[in-house]
A and B are shown apart, each in its own frame.
Chain A
Amino acid sequence: MRFIDEFRDGELARGLAAAIRKAVRADRDYAFMEFCGGHTHAIARYGVTDLLPPSVHLIHGPGCPVCVLPIGRIDMAIRLAVDAGVTLCSYGDPMRVPASDGLSLIKANAKLGRGGRAAAAAGSATVGGEIRMLYSPADALALAQQHPERQVVFFAIGFETTTPPTALLIKQAQALGLRNFSVLCCHVLTPSAIASILESPEVRRWGTLPLDGFIGPAHVSTIIGTRPYEFFAEEYRKPVVIAGFEPLDVMQAILMLIKQVNGGQALVENEFSRAVSRDGNRKAQQLVSEVFELRRSFAWRGLGELPYSALRIRQEFADFDAERRFAVGYQAVADHPACECGAVLRGVKRPQDCRIFGSVCTPENPVGSCMVSSEGACAAHYSFGRYVAASDGRVTCAAPDLAVTP
């Protein structure tokens, strides 16, 4: 595949690995946080850690949109389908995130079962709720157009990358005059999450989380540009290197970070210059600010309530805001007491430090959100990296007990 294989080349990886080995100082360790789940996934899938010297540590950050969604937000989506009887459209990953009462979107849909779908298929006017998985948000709009008798709600999650498509969707719905389409907006902002990490007592006060720099977001930065990170580099004296999601991007960014740390610098550098500029995508930014405004406060899983850290739909587009249309409010729900997702999201703990990792909590039966998405730190470690812990002599999981089918 052209323009893809080049960024996964083993020969170049070996060259970069040698350069990193040469660059690291023998008298110190390096700890870098990869903010994005996309980086976490690439590191695990291509085995990047195997190519790094033992003194370079990668800490998984909170940049997995599914992982930072609190239980109460999934509950809202379920209530929309079950109580308000809407057709809720969701991306695939949120479908399996555990919610209250032992439910998830996928389990809630199974419970809604035949009533909703059979009635819908028969063209009944009194249709029950339904939860659908989709690949493209545009499918939700098409569904609303095809079924004027049903209320269609798009469960919009994600950082700045997925926000412009949602904004576009709302504008299209307005232009079409659709009265049966709305959005449950759960879009969150990257700089707030980074600030929260840097302000956390583990980093600022106690210093228990050593953090020498950030591998900055790839896709998010195509929208917001590199400028928003300049504050972090300057104020907190932490270097940031924006990196693409291919494994060579990650290796190159690590080398750049090591050089900055060795030189005592704290700059924003852009490794992903093939897609990211300093100012980002102005058109997308303008579209977003036209449709959305800052929420005063938003609850994140693991990071808690963060001021001005998420978006809500502006008053001008209130008709398309599911929270207003169906009067569903957010209710905070405590995480499972043994689940360490919060600490994992802050980088304070590694997945394998959690007591229930790989035993009670597995991708088949996730307890916490980090075990759900392939970009989640726990799922990535479970799926791709367990042998590292296993070769230390620690059994981190049992083979899942599944029936063998022909």
Chain B
Amino acid sequence: MNGVRKGYVRPLDLRHGAVDMTHGSGGRAMAQLIEELFAKYLGNDFLGQRNDGAVMPMPPGRLVISTDGHVVSPLFFPGGDIGCLSINGTINDVAVLGATPLYLAAGFILEEGLPLADLARIVESMACAARAAGVPVVTGDTKVVQKGAGDGVYITTTGVGVVADGEDFSGDRARPGDQIIVSGSIGEHGMAIMAQREGLGFAAPIVSDTAALHGLIAAMRASGAAIRTLRDPTRGGVATTLNEIARQSGVGMMLQEGALPVQAEVAAACEFLGLDPLYVANEGKLLAIVAPEDAHALLAAMRAHPLGQRAALIGSVHVDAHHFVQMTTGFGGRRIVDWLTGEQLPRIC
């Protein structure tokens, strides 16, 4: 038995290796993948417990939980990748309910043949985003499916947070007279993906806006403004999110087209592809409905934060039995801003 080194396992080949079926088998190969890849990048005390779940302390307040599956294609795009997207997206879903995000769980569905180098890049990006946000991934799961049964990797993340008693940012609280604020220019994530897929070359490439918004939201809460509703306009864009809120609250809305912040590149790409930026997904923007008397104070607080510099007042809430979201066009007419119909951009997040 000479030459056998006790306990030696050949390290994963992160340069040329690929995911195979044994990585999801529950055996030694899976343990190695967790050890050398997931734990290496995401490591923290809770994950280090090496149990099937994690036990964590919980501060006082009400529990908030949100879960989100990520299936974006391509996996890597200008401004981000599926890894950081899966962290930021779930943090935002927890944070827009007024909660402080505390912990994340991540489930991976890997496709046989996925290069380990790609997986390492994705997990490193998740770790980087989680560290920046101060929200650790405390538990996870890995499954492998046969080649052709998936598309590289799908990631589901679940976020847990706490919200103080008395804080309530539900979608049914918009009232006539309230003002509508968007935290920055719209449509960047969707168009970054679309431009990449369609091979549209722009002098300055469109970059996804993926970002964790809990810091911005904390600054907004600290301003003391009477915020009724917060929501991140992801799939379906600003138009669909405002329609959701209008229906939940039983109100109508009127937007000003001229007030909508849109980057010139995004406007051009939308024009080219026949899309409307109002319906294109964002991953680092939020919509706030605020009491009219506090609108300007809130806007100032948002603009003072790096993620809210281009925040803008885009419209107001009013009485409407039909719950229509409408817009005064820059042209001088009026139109309905309806729910998104069908599937504008599949697999955007």
Interface pair B149/A48, CB less than 8 Å apart: no
Question: Looking across the interface, which residue of chain A has its beta carbon closest to that of B244?
Answer: A404
Q: In whole angstroms, what is the CA distance A365 to B334 when docked?
A: 25
Is A135 among interface residues, defined by CB-CB distance under 8 A?
yes
Is B8 among interface residues, defined by CB-CB distance under 8 A?
no
Is B268 among interface residues, defined by CB-CB distance under 8 A?
yes
Q: Which of B68, B147, B329 has the most CB of A within 10 A?
A: B329
Interface residues on B, range: 20 to 34
Q: In whole angstroms, what is the CA distance A164 to B311 when docked?
A: 45
Stretch at the interface among B80-88, B176-184, B221-229, B320-328: B320-328
Interface string of B142-167 (1 = CB under 8 A from A): 00000111000000000000000000
Interface pair B332/A402, CB less than 8 Å apart: no
Stretch at the interface among B9-17, B48-56, B122-130, B335-343: B335-343
Determine the chain B residues whose CB is within 8 A of the CB of A402 once the complex forms.
339
Interface pair B247/A399, CB less than 8 Å apart: yes
Q: A121-B148, A386-B324 are in contact. Are A1 and B68 (CB under 8 A)?
A: no
Is B93 among interface residues, defined by CB-CB distance under 8 A?
yes
Q: A47-B332, A49-B333, A406-B93 are in contact. Are A395 and B248 (CB under 8 A)?
A: no
Determine the chain B residues whose CB is within 8 A of the CB of A135 once the complex forms.
198, 273
Interface pair A383/B338, CB less than 8 Å apart: yes
Is A384 among interface residues, defined by CB-CB distance under 8 A?
yes
Q: In whole angstroms, what is the CA distance A44 to B276 when docked?
A: 14
Determine the chain A residues whose CB is within 8 A of the CB of B271 once the complex forms.
1, 4
- Min distance, Cβ A32 to any Cβ of chain B, angstroms: 17
Question: Looking across the interface, which residue of chain B has its beta carbon closest to that of A380?
Answer: B335
Is A400 among interface residues, defined by CB-CB distance under 8 A?
yes
Q: A47-B329, A135-B198 are in contact. Are A399 and B323 (CB under 8 A)?
A: yes
Determine the chain A residues whose CB is within 8 A of the CB of B148 once the complex forms.
118, 121-122
Cβ-defined partner of B335 (8 Å) among A1, A10, A47, A96: A47
Q: In whole angstroms, what is the CA distance A48 to B322 when docked?
A: 22
Cβ-defined partner of A1 (8 Å) among B247, B264, B341: B264
Q: In whole angstroms, what is the CA distance A404 to B331 when docked?
A: 32
Q: In whole angstroms, what is the CA distance A402 to B339 when docked?
A: 9
Question: Looking across the interface, which residue of chain A has its beta carbon closest to that of B330?
Answer: A10
Interface pair A386/B336, CB less than 8 Å apart: yes
Interface string of B267-309 (1 = CB under 8 A from A): 1100101000000000000000000000000000000000000
Q: A387-B324, A390-B324, A402-B339 are in contact. Are A118 and B149 (CB under 8 A)?
A: yes
Interface pair A10/B332, CB less than 8 Å apart: yes
- Min distance, Cβ A274 to any Cβ of chain B, angstroms: 17
Is B70 among interface residues, defined by CB-CB distance under 8 A?
no
Q: In whole angstroms, what is the CA distance A405 to B237 when docked?
A: 12
Interface pair A46/B342, CB less than 8 Å apart: no
Interface pair B171/A46, CB less than 8 Å apart: no
Q: Which of A1, A44, A382 has the most CB of B within 10 A?
A: A1
Question: Looking across the interface, which residue of chain A has its beta carbon closest to that of B268?
Answer: A1
Determine the chain B residues whose CB is within 8 A of the CB of A63 once the complex forms.
none
- Min distance, Cβ B27 to any Cβ of chain A, angstroms: 26
Is A347 among interface residues, defined by CB-CB distance under 8 A?
no
- Min distance, Cβ A310 to any Cβ of chain B, angstroms: 25
Is A247 among interface residues, defined by CB-CB distance under 8 A?
yes
Q: In whole angstroms, what is the CA distance A46 to B327 when docked?
A: 10
Determine the chain B residues whose CB is within 8 A of the CB of A111 once the complex forms.
none
Interface pair B333/A46, CB less than 8 Å apart: yes
Interface pair B331/A47, CB less than 8 Å apart: yes
Determine the chain A residues whose CB is within 8 A of the CB of B66 once the complex forms.
406
Q: In whole angstroms, what is the CA distance A13 to B332 when docked?
A: 7
Interface string of A361-389 (1 = CB under 8 A from B): 00110000000000000010011111100
The 9 closest A-B pairs by CB, nearest first: A47-B333, A121-B148, A363-B341, A50-B333, A46-B331, A384-B335, A383-B338, A47-B334, A10-B332
What are 27 residue pairs bridging A and B, where the CB atoms are less than 8 Å apart in the complex? A1-B268, A10-B332, A13-B331, A13-B332, A44-B335, A46-B329, A46-B333, A47-B332, A47-B333, A47-B334, A47-B335, A50-B332, A50-B333, A51-B332, A118-B149, A121-B147, A121-B148, A122-B147, A247-B331, A363-B341, A382-B338, A383-B336, A383-B338, A384-B335, A390-B322, A404-B171, A406-B66
Known: A10-B332, A46-B335, A406-B66. 9 other contacts (CB 8 A): A1-B268, A10-B330, A47-B328, A49-B333, A122-B147, A363-B341, A383-B338, A384-B335, A386-B322
